[in-house]
Amino acid sequence: MVRFNAVNYLTPSEYAAVDACIRRHRFCGIRAILAELSESGIKLSKSGLHRYMQAMREKNGPNAVTTDNTMVMIVERDSGTTKTISTSATAAEIVAMIEGANVEA
């Protein structure tokens, strides 16, 4: 018997939110994805979301993970360690977030 998958019964906007969340997390961190969706009021089981993610990845093939256009390199002055991340946010958005965080600190 085929298992019930709640993703198939979501509204179009919820369905789009699930897809966007999965892509934003780059198909990794199912618990983080579930937590974010839960905060948005979308309740899914871990196994159901996992099955949906597998099907989504198979359907989209190598294009399943979005390509991010912005690379950010963070250098710790004290230790010299670096961290590089890629994001879909624009450079202006990143600068605004950093400047906003500095104002609040």
- Select from 59, 88, 58, 49 the least CA-distant residue to 72: 88
**Each residue's pLDDT tens digit, 54-98:** 988 888 765 555 556 788 888 999 998 998 888 888 888 888 888
Q: Which own/partner pairs from 27-35 qualify as long-range (CB within 8 Å, at least 24 positions apart)? A: 27/53, 27/56, 27/57, 27/64, 27/65
- Select from 84, 9, 67 the least CA-distant residue to 42: 9
Show me where the domains of the chain are located: 6-63, 70-104
**Each residue's pLDDT tens digit, 41-56:** 999 999 999 999 998 8
What pTM was computed for the model? Answer: 0.56
